[in-house]
Structure 1
Amino acid sequence: MAPSYQTIALFGANGQVGKYVFNTLIEWKESEFRVIAFVSPNSDFRLNQYGGMKALEERLDLHKITVDDLAVILAHHNVDVIVSTLGHAVINKQGVIQDAAAKAGVKRFYPSEFGMHQIPWFPGEGGYLHPTWAVKIKCLDDAIKHPAIQSGKMTYTVIGCAEMYDMPDEPILCPWLEKDELITKKGYQVQCVGNPDAKMDYSCCADVAKYLVASIQHPERSENKILGFRSDFISYSEITQLLEKHSGKKARLNVTSIEQVKTIVKDPSTAPAEFQRGSTFPVDFWILLRYVQGQGTFWRPPGLLSNDLFPEVTPTSMEAYFKSLFEK
């Protein structure tokens, strides 16, 4: 079955999420997409690592390129769909991409979401909106309310998920992917805040990428929709038990108190030294993420979870993931 959309421009193809999306697009067996991988000029991304003729590479600096110049590039490639997987460092340049897409006649826009917005509430206090979430909320709102969307000339699809458990550049959040054997020789430490038995949504990058590509292949199911996807619904207590079972090493929970979280949010320099490494996110952001998860509110209710929209994408449980990771 040939998809309605053939040429996909992927921005951030070298990123943590973008790599999975790029691989899935070029390996997708049900359809043959033509992929334009957009990366920064200094990226270590190398197209020849992937082989095949279904992909092209474009290097550009989003901080410098104009809307008109980018529109010319997109029109030259006859781009049907743009997928933005830009991270927190450059996500505020997403508007330039969408403005250019509108000029070039791009039909569908996927803004960079890949998460779940949160406004944490501390007991007896008001809500606190971390700047990282604030930027994402603003970028998403701008994307789905873009003039081209309003006029009907462009459609959108938003892929919402949860924290990803297969992010190799996040060893403090994914300790099972820690590469330093000096750290792991005594076992694994799983970070949590509050109630370690609180269940939460968790997602697998590989699953999310398959879900996204399935939505491109079936654009009629995903047109102008905000979709939610999860791979597992699980607690940190359960994760720690499964990690110990399948890794063969000790795994323990490190429970940070709510009072310490509040102190770290006010002054990130007060965080323990071990919290200051192992993540691309600032420590006050990821500790707030753990706080929300520990409150038992980090999950999508019925109606906001859309796994069944593409049943061909089978979610990978954390136990199945640990089996594949450790039992090779």
Structure 2
Amino acid sequence: MSSYKSVAVVGAGRLGTRILTALAATEKIAVILLSRPGSSKTAPPGVLVVPVDYTDVNAVSSVFKEHKVDVVLSTLGHEGIGMQKLLADAAKLAAVKLFVPSEFGSPTHGHTVEAYKAKNEIAAHLKSLGIPSTRIYTGCFMEFLPFIASYADGKITIIGKGDAPISYTSLADIAGFVAYVLTTVPSAQLENRILRLEGDRASWNDVAKLFKASVERVESFTGKDAEMRTGLLTLFETGAGSTGWDEPNKRDGSGSEAAGSANGLWPGHRWQTIKEVHSL
């Protein structure tokens, strides 16, 4: 059984809100949402919204202490990744038992590209503070697949051959997994662990077949989010889109480091597929 009694969530976007809802639905753990002062952010039933200045370490620490927070879970987006260092400092002062940093994507360990480097720096900071952490690799959000592949008018646009396998997990499954492990799994199985999920696995060519789409190959994207899409798809072409990817050794991991190796922490659960999420 889990020893965690209270969790503070930072970030209530598409994934954060689902995690809040899933945690509150368990009725096994107290849930608060940290919100910036003046924010109009609302929370699901059963979740207490607590306004606090994220940059004020002492104020955040006081909130953690007041609500006896055991777990801090962040779903902050790219712009807020660096803010997690201050949250970690506050967690240290409040003797928080576990910090779940904002990963929720492809593996970042060992990567030097800027977006991934920032997440590695957070992991290193948590380690330096002696705060146990759990990094959760989910692969691509299944619901975002059409956006990532620029799916439109029966066509997907990709970079490269499109044969490399990519991991996908639905938002609902990610939220359910987080709620389950934090309220059920013993802390020893979560502390200082990397958990690799995979709801479904498909290359871009596989995706094209599922969507009955043609494939256009380009060297780079143009227009809105072009730099992000170009960088992401170029990286995926190397194999790094699999949640089992071992960047230092340039290969897919096996055993406890394989894609989907953490799925078993949620026994009996049936993970959603791409076909189900997109009604194909």
Q: Answer yes or no: is the 8 Å Cα contact 1:195–1:295 preserved in 2.
A: no
Q: Answer yes or no: is the 8 Å Cα contact 1:11–1:84 preserved in 2.
A: yes
Aligned amino acid, residue 162 of structure 1: G
Change in Cα spacing, 1:82 to 1:190, as seen in structure 2 (3 Å) is same
Question: Shift of the alpha carbon at 1:292?
Answer: 2.3
Residue in structure 1 matched with residue 148 of structure 2 by the alignment: 173
Q: Select 2:133's aligned residue among 156, 174, 194.
A: 156
Q: How does 1:118-197 map to 2 (within 5 A)?
A: 129-143=112-126, 145-149=127-131, 155-167=132-144, 172-173=147-148, 187-197=153-163
Instruction: Give secondary structure in 2 for the equivalent of 1:291.
Output: helix
Q: Answer yes or no: is the 8 Å Cα contact 2:142–2:169 preserved in 1.
A: yes
Instruction: Give secondary structure in 1 for the equivalent of 2:214.
Output: strand
Question: Shift of the alpha carbon at 1:44?
Answer: 4.5
Q: Select 1:232's aligned residue among 178, 200, 204.
A: 200
Residue in structure 1 matched with residue 241 of structure 2 by the alignment: 298
Q: How many residues align?
A: 265
Give me the whole-angstrom Cα distance separating, in 1, the residues matched to 2:134 and 2:109: 23
Change in Cα spacing, 1:33 to 1:146, as seen in structure 2 (3 Å) is same
Give me the whole-angstrom Cα distance separating, in 2, the residues matched to 1:313 and 1:214: 10
Q: Select 1:23's aligned residue among 4, 21, 24.
A: 21
Residue in structure 2 matched with residue 199 of structure 1 by the alignment: 165
Aligned amino acid, residue 181 of structure 2: S
Give me the whole-angstrom Cα distance separating, in 2, the residues matched to 1:134 and 1:195: 26
Question: Shift of the alpha carbon at 1:171?
Answer: 5.9
What's the % identity of the aligned pairs?
Answer: 24
Residue in structure 2 matched with residue 254 of structure 1 by the alignment: 216
Question: Shift of the alpha carbon at 1:46?
Answer: 1.6
Q: Answer yes or no: is the 8 Å Cα contact 2:108–2:117 preserved in 1.
A: no
Residue in structure 1 matched with residue 7 of structure 2 by the alignment: 8
Instruction: Give secondary structure in 2 for the equivalent of 1:166.
Output: helix
Structure 2 stretches lacking a partner, 5+ long = 245-252
Question: Shift of the alpha carbon at 1:3?
Answer: 4.2
Give me the whole-angstrom Cα distance separating, in 2, the residues matched to 1:61 and 1:69: 7
Aligned amino acid, residue 235 of structure 2: V
Give me the whole-angstrom Cα distance separating, in 2, the residues matched to 1:69 and 1:290: 40
TM-score (norm 2): 0.84
Question: Shift of the alpha carbon at 1:175?
Answer: 5.5
Give me the whole-angstrom Cα distance separating, in 1, the residues matched to 2:6 and 2:51: 17
Aligned amino acid, residue 231 of structure 1: G
Question: Shift of the alpha carbon at 1:43?
Answer: 4.3
- Give deviations 1:10-61, integer Å, cap 9, x for gaps: 000x223212211211223xx42211011334545223xx33xx31002234
Question: Shift of the alpha carbon at 1:113?
Answer: 1.2
Q: Answer yes or no: is the 8 Å Cα contact 1:203–1:230 preserved in 2.
A: yes
Residue in structure 2 matched with residue 115 of structure 1 by the alignment: 105
Q: Give the RMSD, CA atoms, in angstroms.
A: 2.6
Give me the whole-angstrom Cα distance separating, in 1, the residues matched to 2:164 and 2:15: 26
Instruction: Give secondary structure in 2 for the equivalent of 1:89.
Output: helix
Give me the whole-angstrom Cα distance separating, in 2, the residues matched to 1:188 and 1:44: 39
Q: How does 1:14-53 map to 2 (within 5 A)?
A: 14-28=12-26, 31-41=27-37, 43-47=39-43, 50-51=44-45
Give me the whole-angstrom Cα distance separating, in 1, the residues matched to 2:2 and 2:163: 43
Q: Answer yes or no: is the 8 Å Cα contact 2:98–2:133 preserved in 1.
A: yes
Aligned amino acid, residue 109 of structure 1: F
Q: Answer yes or no: is the 8 Å Cα contact 2:98–2:134 preserved in 1.
A: yes
Question: Shift of the alpha carbon at 1:6?
Answer: 1.8
Structure 1 stretches lacking a partner, 5+ long = 121-127, 150-154, 177-183, 245-250, 262-270, 277-281
Change in Cα spacing, 1:119 to 1:8, as seen in structure 2 (3 Å) is closer
Give me the whole-angstrom Cα distance separating, in 2, the residues matched to 1:253 and 1:60: 47
Q: How does 1:242-281 map to 2 (within 5 A)?
A: 242-244=210-212, 251-257=213-219, 261=220, 271-273=221-223, 276=224
